[in-house]
């Protein structure tokens, strides 16, 4: 099967909405990538939104469902491209993180490989046909089925592209979340970006990610916060009329440090904390048991 591609956005009729199901194949395995293109009536940038790179993260998927219905092409300047569910097999297979077709995490295989497994081919298609055509690339996630989370918006501090990075910071601020996260950007030339929006950042595109929602639920507060963030960003880009009274940039908290704690062994983790709890070094975070309920280890904060 020849790989399908999207039409050139500049050839599309202003004021019209297009949709296409891109398909790709590896042996007998087929993957689909749904793409909606809303072509505005005025000149403007290409703003791309991707949801469902992780198919069990429902709040982002529901938010873009609503945005696709609400956003009017006749009020839009530029082009809005929406991938409502990037990992269709993960979504319909109710699979956290992984694509059940090849057991890979789509958000760890960017920039992808046109000759690789189905997730790698999907990542390659997103890189070459979706990311590359974007001026702004927004990848929306949530805490997955097993993840508690505080909603936040984030970008990479890529010092090689100061203009794009400063726009990413502006869009992060105007999104209206309480928590804004800035990741350092350091990638060796030989290192793959792994993450979709890190790949976009590497390509010199203004890229951001929202994390809103958690634990495999449709958290309507997070759906609303995500939609407001998109409207705020589109208004900041002068692509859409600002909606009244939705921007909240007061009392924001900027975070730029992270710590990851690896489990000392296989088992079941019981957290004694919830997302948002404040902790100090040495504090007990939870414990791990084996499948018989026997405590194996205590986990403390580094």
Contacting positions for Zn ion (CB under 5 A): 54, 57, 141
Minimum distance between the CB of residue 254 and Zn ion, rounded to whole angstroms?
22
Write the CB contacts of 208 (distance below 8 Å, at least 6 apart in sequence): 136, 137, 138, 139, 153, 154, 155, 168, 171, 172, 175, 197, 233
Kindly tell me which of 67 and 212 has the beta carbon lying closer to Zn ion: 212
Kindly tell me which of 54 and 214 has the beta carbon lying closer to Zn ion: 54
Minimum distance between the CB of residue 111 and Zn ion, rounded to whole angstroms?
18
Kindly tell me which of 12 and 86 has the beta carbon lying closer to Zn ion: 86
End-to-end CA distance of the chain: 51
Query: In 162-298, which residue ranges form alpha helices assigned H by DSSP?
Result: 162-175, 196-202, 220-236
Minimum distance between the CB of residue 209 and Zn ion, rounded to whole angstroms?
9
- The residues with which 137 forms a beta bridge, in sequence order, are 48, 207
Minimum distance between the CB of residue 195 and Zn ion, rounded to whole angstroms?
9
Minimum distance between the CB of residue 56 and Zn ion, rounded to whole angstroms?
8
Sign, CA dihedral 130-134-140-141, equals positive
152-157 β-sheet, strand order:
17-26, 29-39, 77-83, 42-51, 136-141, 206-211, 152-157, 179-184, 253-255
Minimum distance between the CB of residue 57 and Zn ion, rounded to whole angstroms?
5
Kindly tell me which of 76 and 89 has the beta carbon lying closer to Zn ion: 89
Kindly tell me which of 104 and 141 has the beta carbon lying closer to Zn ion: 141
- Cβ burial, residue 245 (10 Å; 0-12/13-18/19+): exposed
């Amino acid at each position: 099967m020849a790989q399908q591609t999207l039409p050139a956005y500049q050839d599309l009729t202003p004021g019209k909405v297009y949709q296409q199901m891109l398909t790709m194949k590896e042996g007998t395995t087929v993957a689909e990538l749904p793409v909606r293109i809303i072509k505005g009536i005025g000149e403007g940038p290409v703003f791309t939104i991707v949801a469902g790179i992780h198919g069990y993260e429902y709040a982002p998927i529901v938010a873009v469902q609503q945005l696709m219905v609400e956003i009017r092409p006749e009020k839009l300047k530029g082009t809005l491209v929406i991938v409502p569910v990037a990992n269709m097999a993960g979504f319909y297979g109710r699979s956290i993180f992984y694509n059940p077709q090849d057991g890979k995490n789509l958000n760890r295989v960017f920039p992808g490989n046109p000759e690789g497994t189905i997730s790698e081919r999907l990542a390659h298609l997103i890189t070459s046909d979706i990311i590359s055509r974007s001026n702004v690339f927004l990848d929306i996630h949530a805490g997955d089925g097993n993840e508690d989370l505080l909603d936040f918006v984030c970008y990479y501090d890529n010092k090689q592209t100061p203009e794009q990075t400063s726009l990413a910071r502006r869009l992060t601020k105007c999104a209206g979340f309480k928590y804004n996260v800035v990741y350092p950007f350091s990638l060796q030339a030989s290192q793959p970006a792994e993450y979709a929006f890190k790949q976009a950042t590497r390509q010199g595109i203004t890229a951001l990610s929202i994390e809103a929602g958690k634990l495999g639920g449709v958290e309507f507060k997070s759906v609303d916060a995500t939609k407001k963030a998109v409207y705020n960003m589109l208004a900041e880009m002068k692509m859409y009329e600002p909606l009244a009274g939705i921007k909240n940039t007061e009392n924001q908290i900027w975070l730029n440090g992270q710590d990851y704690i690896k489990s000392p062994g296989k088992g079941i983790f019981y957290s004694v904390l919830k997302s948002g709890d404040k902790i100090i070094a040495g504090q007990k975070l939870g414990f791990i048991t084996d499948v018989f309920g026997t405590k194996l280890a205590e986990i403390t904060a580094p």
